[in-house]
Chains A and B, each alone.
Chain A
Amino acid sequence: MTTTAVAVPLPLVQPRRSAVRAVRDAIAVSGRNLIAYRRVPQLLVFSTIQPVIFVLLFTYVFGGVVSTSLTVPYVDYLMPGVFVQTVVFGAIGTAVGLATDVKSGLLERFRSLPMARSAVLAGRTLADLTRNVFVVILMVAVGFAVGFRVHTSFALLLAGMLLVLLFGYSLAWIFATLGLATGDPETAQAAAFPVMAPLVFASSAFIPVSTMPGWLQVWAAHQPVSVTANAVRALVIGGPTTTYVLQTLAWCFGILLVAAPIAVRRYRKTV
């Protein structure tokens, strides 16, 4: 074969510094995930309708029983719990979303692209954080509609919401691993429930822990959903907040510190 100088066409690319690329790619993936929430309403319905039903059910059906042991109206006790429950259920979306991408082969294509390796997980959790902002605002509005009142100040309500969002973000990393490991949306959903149920129901989210049997109280009083719900309650109802808030922050950063590296390692192994 004769050697002829072949002009290799140059690709239409603009290589970027890795930090710039990481941010741009995470935003691109996150935008793509948010479009899915808009186009596939059932994804959002699960994380909105469902907590609304909880609010109505607990306020009007179970509320009467619980309120006898409380010093504030039950709805004021309930709503902080519902906010936390909302982001826990929302984290299932993280698992289902990633499992869908594994199954469809999209993650495989992403691996052949010159994109930041971090963008899939960062984009996923960022999109789910954005969705949580929307859902938590919606739940505050629903709360006000059924008689929820803030006893302290708007600023402290806002602080409480930020705490809830941070907690939701840390949980997303646990559920990210679950989604990658199952690799199938239905399986991911089924596997998420047993992780989520003891967190949400064996907690102070809906009823005071003091009504539970002693052995359960040990778990229920200290687990992250209870601690976060208690912190938000202290912020919106009043009373000492420092301990609860610090405990919540400890849980959030603890979970992030453990769950994020596991999710990243799992992602590297997933094709």
Chain B
Amino acid sequence: MADVAIRVENLVKRFGPVLALDGVSFEVPFATVFGLLGPNGAGKTTAVRALTTIIAPDSGRAEVIGHDVVHDADAVRLSIGLAGQSAAVDENLTGRENLRLIGRLSQMPGRRIAPRADELLERFELVDAADRPVRTYSGGMRRRLDVAASLMHRPPVLFLDEPTTGLDLKSRGELWNMIRELVSTGTTVLLTTQYLEEADRLANRLAVIDRGKVIAEGTPGELKTRLGATVIEFGYGDARQVARRASELLAQRLPGQPESDGSTVRITSDDGSRVVVDALRALDSEGLAPVAIAVREPSLDDVFLALTGHHAETTDDNNSAHRGGS
């Protein structure tokens, strides 16, 4: 028996000139949620596609429950479910027919397929739409059906590729609850997301991935401590000169390094309110009071800025090269 659910060692995948995975390594213990966090084009979907045997890596190796994804792909496929960006449902089939087809092709025992489909339709609140062709479904219903399909054969390891993209808040919350429930009964979940909040709420551990490389790994708490829990921004309209002077002043008076971005000065801190008071007092005393203040939770972009020194969006020129995948 394998000691971890997923083991990835030095995985490399190249699409033409783009190095989509540049030596990615991580491990996911059983019955935990592992988050792959990163912007579009970072390599998240490529990692999922390699782990779910859709594409073969150029080098490195990966195992799911001890089965090699290249040499023992069929054993891997029997143990996994996949939903999200790279999965799909058939437009012309009804919801029920889609689930039964996936059940059959997942090699479920014949007599278990219909009851399992009914159970999942119930759980995902698709009973009323069960016998309508999927092309009549809303985006959220499709996404729910897609996740339901991935659960048909009760896979011990579940891959969710940006599962909540396009879901409304209520459906998102429900999916999060369902993921927690699955994990409590022993399922291992690997999910990719662009949202720090999602990774924070769900993942036991997460890896931040950028340009095909894991640039940070740890529990959400560890990563946030590295980052600082609150982001404070002082805006100066068009006054770049003033912003630069404010940034220099804050660098002298406050702990930590403010980041200046044109006419905005940004500070991250564990002690947000204290910093706001100190910073404003300092700025005001030098006649550098800002025209706008924002205090917020760190976003993925802040994590990126802190970890890489560049904005998440700047990797966009990479992602168009391979089918818009990430």
Interface residues in chain A, defined as those with a beta carbon under 8 Å from any beta carbon in chain B? 1, 6-16, 21, 24-25, 28-29, 32, 35-36, 39-40, 104-106, 108-115, 119, 271
How many residue-residue contacts, CB under 8 A, span A and B? 112
The answer to whether the Cβ of B77 comes within 8 Å of any Cβ in the partner chain is yes
B156 touches A114 (CB 8 A): no
Partner of A104, one of B52, B91, B105, B108: B91
Complex Cα gap A12–B119 (Å): 14
16 contacts between A and B (CB under 8 A): A6-B186, A10-B156, A11-B153, A12-B109, A13-B107, A13-B108, A21-B107, A25-B104, A28-B105, A104-B91, A109-B87, A112-B53, A112-B54, A112-B82, A113-B77, A113-B105
B153 touches A6 (CB 8 A): no
B54 touches A114 (CB 8 A): no
Complex Cα gap A15–B153 (Å): 12
B78 touches A114 (CB 8 A): yes
Complex Cα gap A270–B155 (Å): 25
A114 touches B90 (CB 8 A): no
Closest residue of B by beta carbon distance from A38: B92
Query: B245 to nearest A CB, angstroms?
Result: 49
What residues of A have a CB within 8 angstroms of the CB of B80 in the complex? 112
Q: Which of B53, B86, B104, B154 has the most CB of A within 10 A?
A: B104
B54 touches A108 (CB 8 A): yes
What residues of A have a CB within 8 angstroms of the CB of B154 in the complex? 9-12
What residues of B have a CB within 8 angstroms of the CB of A36 in the complex? 90, 92-93
What residues of B have a CB within 8 angstroms of the CB of A13 in the complex? 78, 106-109, 153
What residues of B have a CB within 8 angstroms of the CB of A6 in the complex? 30-31, 186
Given contacts A16-B107, A28-B101, A39-B133, contact A8 B82 (CB under 8 A): no
Main secondary structure of the interface of A (DSSP, over half): loop
A1 touches B29 (CB 8 A): yes
Closest residue of A by beta carbon distance from B65: A8
Please encode chain B, from 15 to 56, with 1 for each CB lying within 8 Å of some chain A CB and 0 for all others. 000000000000001110000000000000000010011110
Tell me the chain B residues, 146-178 only, with Cβ under 8 Å from chain A. 149, 152-156
Query: B148 to nearest A CB, angstroms?
Result: 13
Please encode chain B, from 78 to 98, with 1 for each CB lying within 8 Å of some chain A CB and 0 for all others. 111010001111111100010
Closest residue of A by beta carbon distance from B29: A1
A11 touches B92 (CB 8 A): no
Complex Cα gap A112–B106 (Å): 9
Query: A177 to nearest B CB, angstroms?
Result: 20
What residues of A have a CB within 8 angstroms of the CB of B133 in the complex? 39
Complex Cα gap A25–B104 (Å): 7
Given contacts A11-B155, A104-B88, contact A112 B77 (CB under 8 A): yes
What residues of B have a CB within 8 angstroms of the CB of A1 in the complex? 29
Closest residue of A by beta carbon distance from B100: A28
Given contacts A32-B90, A32-B97, A271-B54, contact A8 B109 (CB under 8 A): no
The answer to whether the Cβ of B102 comes within 8 Å of any Cβ in the partner chain is yes
* Given A12-B116, A12-B153, 5 additional A-B pairs, CB 8 A: A13-B153, A14-B107, A35-B92, A109-B102, A112-B80
